[in-house]
Amino acid sequence: MSHIRSRFTIAPLRRSLQSHHSVFVDDVVRARRPDVPMHCLRPATLRAAARTFVAGFPGTTLYAVKCNPDAAVLRALWDGGVRHFDCASAGEVALVRRTLPRAQIHFMHPIKARGAIREAWERHDVRDFVVDSAAELSKIIEETRHRPGRLGIVVRLALPKGGARYDLSGKFGASVDEAIGLLRMAAACAGRIGLSFHVGSQCADPSAWSRALALTADVLAGFGQPVDIIDVGGGFPVSYPDITPPPLTAFFAAIATGFARLGLPATTQLWCEPGRALVAPGQSLVVRIDGRRGDHLFINDGIYGSLSDAGIPAFRFPCRLIRADGTSIAADQPFVFFGPTCDSADRMDGPFVLPADAQEGDWIEIGQLGAYGASLRTGFNGFDQSLTVEVDDSPMLSTPGFGPMAIAA
Ligand SMILES: *Cc1c(COP(=O)(O)O)cnc(C)c1O
């Protein structure tokens, strides 16, 4: 799949406008009149989200890189205080090492290629690896050249299907009994051991973490010894037009309580692996309307581009119309979007609420697309071009607990 992506930073534009002033999406659209999808990165928002997690989570925050591996995103999170990165492939490990030489990288995919384990261990100083089977544990011990004293093994526990928007229980994870067996095997050879789980993505219920930590307690009771790491995974939710989740502090409180109940020694570390909650508000997408038929808008990006979550998963996103002359009427009409490819599945039902006079040639800014947006683009049907610019706008929706993410942040 060819993946041509032209990248322009805003620097030249920033200079040509006014060097000390903020740059906003509307300015860039009017100056550049983009005719390919344009990603608008909000570095200040990303830094603020990182600071919120690092200061508020009662442990260590690892960023789940798959959510958005853009180097500018990684750097903004680093600037906000994130030092640990959850990678799932050799490519992600190399990317983080190249972008942030001092980052601490953890390999959190339960099934890894042998070459990827070797490369991570030997070239990129990765010490912690996730397993959910004895076969994977043997593979890691073999490929790390039998120097297990420095090795960290984290056992991924399977969870029952929960209330997350994206269920992640189908593919990975050991049962309670298997996890106990794996901890015993790992304790015999690794320098440190731990337990992890993932409640599913966009999980708006703090008690999902309480239940998962109660299951963790069952594993620890069977194992009979403390562990060094408890990793509560990702899944922290953000706002979309149809949901405002409980404040982030409610999730941190449920996790702190559940962790305290495990009765582990003070040396046990608590980790989390947020993806979506750190980056979703930090990027929007500007698309252009190339055609209109009734309440159907044909736009220049779709489910094979940055809008796959708007397709079958039927996420709704905040959006607003941008017109070259700056005029606008109230947004009160629901629209359906169609992407640019010839596939009839390239359709997004929304509804997306925009002014009734939206027409060909107008642009639409679609928000909360920093997570699982740009990172899922394909070049299908020749729609392989996009731009990325950096802007100073606030996020299009605020998520409770993240505080103001204004320009000054
Ligand atoms: C995808 C993933 C995450 C991030 O999940 P979010 O729902 O985006 O927070 C964290 N950990 C693991 C193991 C993952 O696969």
For ligand 1, pick from 129, 168, 236, 369 the residue to mutate: most ligand atoms within 8 Å of CB: 168
| Ligand 1 atom with least separation from CA of 234 | 9
| Ligand 1 atom with least separation from CA of 276 | 8
Report the percentage of the chain scoring pLDDT > 70: 92
Of 230, 257, 279, the last residue of a domain is 279
Q: Are residues 305 and 362 in the same domain?
A: yes
Q: Are residues 355 and 337 in the same domain?
A: yes
Output the CA–CA distances (angstroms, integers) from residue 41 to 74, 281, 283, 305, 326, in the order listed.
12, 9, 4, 16, 22
Q: Are residues 85 and 168 in the same domain?
A: yes
For ligand 1, pick from 198, 232, 369 the residue to mutate: most ligand atoms within 8 Å of CB: 198
The model's pLDDT over 105-146, given as tens digits with 9 standing for 90+, comes to 999 999 999 999 999 999 999 999 999 999 999 999 999 976
Q: Are residues 122 and 263 in the same domain?
A: yes
| Ligand 1 atom with least separation from CA of 66 | 1
Q: Are residues 259 and 311 in the same domain?
A: no
165, pLDDT greater than 90: no
The boundaries of the domain holding residue 355 are: 2-42+281-390
Report how far residue 3's alpha carbon sits from residue 382's, in angstroms, rounded to the nearest whole number: 9
Of 248, 279, 310, the last residue of a domain is 279
Q: Are residues 11 and 25 in the same domain?
A: yes
Q: Is residue 397 part of a domain?
A: no
**What's the pLDDT score for residue 164?**
76
Q: Is residue 234 part of a domain?
A: yes
Read off φ and ψ for residue 223, nearest 5 degrees: -75, -35
CATH number of the domain enclosing 79 = 3.20.20.10
What torsion do the CA atoms of 274, 279, 281, 283 make, to the nearest 10 degrees?
-160
Tell me which residue of 70, 100, 80, 75 sits closest to 387, measured CA to CA.
Answer: 70
| Ligand 1 atom with least separation from CA of 156 | 13
Report how far residue 166's alpha carbon sits from residue 202's, in angstroms, rounded to the nearest whole number: 7
| Ligand 1 atom with least separation from CA of 278 | 9
**What's the pLDDT score for residue 20?**
57
The whole-number average pLDDT for the span 30-45 is 97
Q: What is the DSSP letter of 376?
A: G
Q: Are residues 370 and 328 in the same domain?
A: yes
User: SS3 sequence, 125-144?
Assistant: CCCEEEECCHHHHHHHHHHC
Q: Is residue 302 part of a domain?
A: yes
Q: Is residue 402 part of a domain?
A: no
The model's pLDDT over 219-231, given as tens digits with 9 standing for 90+, comes to 999 999 999 999 9
* Token pair listed for 124: 């990129």
Tell me which residue of 74, 22, 27 sits closest to 47, measured CA to CA.
Answer: 74
Centroid of ligand 1 to alpha carbon of 19 (angstroms): 38
The model's pLDDT over 339-349, given as tens digits with 9 standing for 90+, comes to 999 999 999 99
- Lowest-pLDDT range, 257-261, 374-378, 386-390? 374-378
| Ligand 1 atom with least separation from CA of 201 | 7
Centroid of ligand 1 to alpha carbon of 200 (angstroms): 8
Centroid of ligand 1 to alpha carbon of 235 (angstroms): 6
**What's the pLDDT score for residue 162?**
72
Q: Are residues 250 and 382 in the same domain?
A: no
Cβ atoms of residues 123 and 102 within 8 Å: no
Q: Is residue 24 part of a domain?
A: yes
Q: Is residue 380 part of a domain?
A: yes
Q: Are residues 227 and 238 in the same domain?
A: yes
The model's pLDDT over 48-104, given as tens digits with 9 standing for 90+, comes to 999 999 999 999 999 999 999 999 999 999 999 999 999 999 999 999 999 999 999
CATH number of the domain enclosing 19 = 2.40.37.10
Q: Are residues 321 and 339 in the same domain?
A: yes
pTM of the model: 0.93
**What's the pLDDT score for residue 325?**
83
Q: Are residues 338 and 271 in the same domain?
A: no
Q: CB within 6 Å of ligand 1 — which residues? A: 64, 66-67, 86, 108, 198, 201, 233-236, 273-277, 371
**What's the pLDDT score for residue 404?**
56
- Lowest-pLDDT range, 8-22, 176-190, 321-335? 8-22
For ligand 1, pick from 62, 107, 112, 201 the residue to mutate: most ligand atoms within 8 Å of CB: 201
Q: Is residue 405 part of a domain?
A: no
Q: Are residues 150 and 181 in the same domain?
A: yes
Q: What is the DSSP letter of 117?
A: H
The total of structural domains in the chain comes to 2
Q: Which residue owns the Cα nearest ligand 1 atom 5?
A: 234
For ligand 1, pick from 86, 87, 255 the residue to mutate: most ligand atoms within 8 Å of CB: 86
318 upstream amide cis, omega within 30 of 0: no
Q: Is residue 395 part of a domain?
A: no
